[in-house]
Amino acid sequence: MKVSQKDTEKLMMMNLGTPNAGSGPQSRVLPRLLLWLILFVTVTYVVYTLRLISNSRACDHEPFSNPRRQISTTSTSASSQPTQSILDQDQAVEVRRQTTQIRNVVFGIAASAKFWEKRKNYIKLWFKPEEMRGIVWLDQTVKKNKTKDNKGDRVAVEEAEDLSLPPVMISGDTSKFSYTNRQGHRSAIRISRIVSETLRLGLEDVHWFVMGDDDTVFVTENLVRVLSKYDHNQYYYIGSLSESHLQNIYFSYGMAYGGGGFAISYPLAKALEKIQDRCIQRYPGLYGSDDRMQACMAELGVPLTKELGFHQYDVYGNLFGLLAAHPVAPLVSLHHLDVVEPIFPNVTQVKALQRLTKPMKLDSAGLMQQSICYDKSKRWTISVSWGFAVQVFRGVFSPREIEMPSRTFLNWYKKADYTAYAFNTRPVFRNQCQKPFVFYMSNARLNSSTHQTVSEYVRHRVPHPPCKWKMADPTKLDRVEVYKKPDPHLWDRSPRRNCCRVMESGKKGTMVINVGVCREGEISEI
Ligand SMILES: *[C@@H]1O[C@H](CO)[C@@H](O)[C@H](O)[C@H]1NC(C)=O
Ligand SMILES: *[C@@H]1O[C@H](CO)[C@@H](O)[C@H](O)[C@H]1NC(C)=O
Ligand SMILES: *[C@@H]1O[C@H](CO)[C@@H](O)[C@H](O)[C@H]1NC(C)=O
C-alpha cells in the first residue's frame, strides 16, 4: 500500500511534466489553455466525486478490491487536482479498513525455567523476531551454563542470548497474593498477570495481546486473519474451549483455555490492568491462570468470543482424528505438544511440526482444511486434510460422517470414553474393511509456472485386517499427490469446505487429487 502511494506520486509528477515541457514561445496561448485546463479540472472533479460517492459502499465490501488498480485508472486524468482528492478518499477508506497486521500483535508467552531448554524449540518454530513482538515470561532465571575458563576452573557464563527467540523477562513477585487451591500451583497467579505486565512495558501500536504457553505453536498468519475480523478498538476476549466437556463444566464454557492461546484487544487489556490485581485477590480458590483471567473478564462483563482454530487439545494419544477433520475455520494454534504423540509418525514432535511449516508457508489459509470426494469407479471415499494427511476408505461414507473427528485419541482422563467431548466423534472404523489407508504429507512445494502447490503424501504402512470385499484394493497405492492453488483470501469469504477431485494419474501406485474452490453446482457426492 505504501509503495503504491509512492508510485502514484511519481505518476502525478509525470502528468504535470507534460504541459510544462511545451512552454516557452506560445506564452500568449497559455492563459486560454489555463482557462480550459481549470474548466476541465472542475468538470472531472465533479464527475469523479459523484462517481466515488455512488461507488464507495460497493468498494468497501469488495473483498479483492485492489487500491493499486484504482490508482492506475485515475492516473489517466490530465491534472493532479482530481487525482489528489480521490487519493485522499482512498486513503480514508484505507484507514477505516486498516486491520491488524502481525506487527500490531504482542505475544505474552508463559514459560517456566524448568522446561525452558526443551520447550523453547516450540517457540522457535513459529516466532520470527524480525516481524513479531513478544516476551517470554519466566518464573526465574534459567540456570547459567557452567563451563571451564582458561585456568580450568568451572565458571558460570551467561547463556548467549538466543536471537531467534523473543526476549525473556522474569515475572513480578506474586507472594503477596493468596492462593488456596489444593490441586493447582500458585504460578497460576504469575501467569494470569502476564497480560498486565506486558501492557506495562508500554509498547506502541499494539492492537492485540496474545497469550500462549511455551508448548503452544501458533500459525501466525491465521491468527492475524482471525483477529483482523474484529475491531481492536473495542473490548474483545477471543479464544476457544477445551475438547473435554468435563473440563468445560469444571472450569467454564465461557473461558478461553490458556494453552490454546487467546487474544485480548488493547483497550480491554488496559481496562484489565487497572483492576487485575484487586480482581485476582477476590478469587484465591481458583485453579489456574485462565480461570482467573475469565473471572476478571466476567467482572468487566466481557464474554468469550469463540474462534474454533485455537486448540487447547486436552487429549492424550494421537491427534490424527482431530487434525484430519479440522473444523471449517483457520488453524490458529496447537497445544499440549509434549502430551500428545508427534503429529507425523516416527519423528520427534519438533521435527514433525517443522515439516508442517512447509505447507504453512505455501498456503497457510488452507492448512489442515478438509475436503471430501469419491473415486467413483473404485468406490472409495477420499478425505484430504491439506498439508497434513490423506485418507482413503473402502466404500462410501457421507460427508457428515467423514467431517467428524475419528477417535484416535483418549480423553483428558486417559480414557476411551467418548461421551465426554464437547463435539461429535466417530469410531476409527466400524467394519474392518473400512480401516482408513493413511498417507502422511512428506513434502510440499510450489510449481511457479502453474502457480499451484504440489503436496505429496506417503502411505503409512501399518497392518490392515483382512478384507473379503470384492473391491479395488488401496494397498496398491504408495503415494498421493495433491494439487491446489494457494488461496490467501479463503477466509474473506463465507466458510465452506473446498472440493476435491480424483484426477487421471499417469504414475503407477500414485493417486492424483486436485483441491480447490467448489465449482458452480459441485458438491461432495458420488
Ligand atoms: C553448556 O556449555 C557447553 C560447553 O560450551 C556446551 O557444550 C553445552 O551445549 C552448553 N549447554 C547448554 C544447555 O547450553
Ligand atoms: C519408524 O522408524 C523405524 C526406525 O527408524 C523403522 O524401523 C520403522 O519401520 C518406521 N516405521 C514406520 C511406520 O515408518
Ligand atoms: C510445473 O507444472 C508443469 C505443468 O504441469 C510441468 O510441466 C512442470 O514440470 C512443473 N514444474 C515443476 C518444477 O514441478
Give nearest CA residue, ligand 1 atom 9: 145
Of 116, 121, 147, the residue with max ligand 1 atoms within 8 A of its CB, to mutate for a pocket test, comes to 147
Which triple of cell numbers denotes residue 470? 470384492
CATH of domain 316-516: 2.70.130.10
Q: What is the DSSP string of 243-297?
A: SBHHHHHHS-TT---GGG-EEEEHHHHHHHHHHHHHHHHT-TT--SHHHHHHHHH
Of 449, 456, 504, 512, the residue with max ligand 3 atoms within 8 A of its CB, to mutate for a pocket test, comes to 449
Give nearest CA residue, ligand 2 atom 6: 346
- Residue 426 makes CB contacts below 8 A (sequence gap 6+) with 401, 404, 405, 406, 407
Q: Which residue has the cell 485419541?
A: 409
Sign of CA dihedral 347, 349, 354, 356: positive
Of the candidates 257, 287, 293, 291, the one whose C-alpha atom is nearest the C-alpha of residue 275 is: 293
Tell how far the Cα of 149 is from the centroid of ligand 1, in angstroms. 13
Ligand nearest to the CA of 142: 1
Q: Which residues face 107 on adjacent strands?
A: 134, 210
Cβ-contact 207, 227 below 8 angstroms: yes
Task: Determine the Cα–Cα distance for residues 266 and 350; give it in Å rounded to an integer.
Answer: 32
The domain limits of the chain are 2-16+31-97, 102-142+157-306, 316-516
Q: What is the pLDDT along the chain (526 residues), one digit of tens a residue?
A: 333 443 433 333 333 333 333 333 444 556 677 778 777 777 776 666 655 554 444 333 333 333 333 333 333 333 444 444 555 555 554 554 468 999 999 999 999 999 999 999 999 999 999 999 999 999 999 876 666 666 666 655 555 578 899 999 999 999 999 999 999 999 999 999 999 999 999 999 999 999 999 999 999 999 999 999 999 999 999 999 999 999 999 999 999 999 999 999 999 999 999 999 999 999 999 999 999 999 999 999 999 999 999 999 999 999 999 999 999 999 999 999 999 999 999 999 999 999 999 999 999 999 999 999 999 999 999 999 999 999 999 999 999 999 999 999 998 988 888 888 999 999 999 999 999 999 999 999 999 999 999 999 999 999 999 999 999 999 999 999 999 999 999 999 999 999 999 999 989 999 999 999 999 999 999 8
Q: Is 148 in the pocket of ligand 1 (CB under 6 A)?
A: no
Second-level CATH architecture of 102-142+157-306: Alpha-Beta Complex (3.90)
Q: Is 443 in the pocket of ligand 3 (CB under 6 A)?
A: no
- The CA-to-CA distance between both ends of the chain, in Å, stands at 45
Ligand nearest to the CA of 146: 1
Cβ-contact 289, 111 below 8 angstroms: no
Of the candidates 486, 473, 524, 475, the one whose C-alpha atom is nearest the C-alpha of residue 502 is: 524
pTM over 0.95: no
Q: Is 55 in the pocket of ligand 3 (CB under 6 A)?
A: no
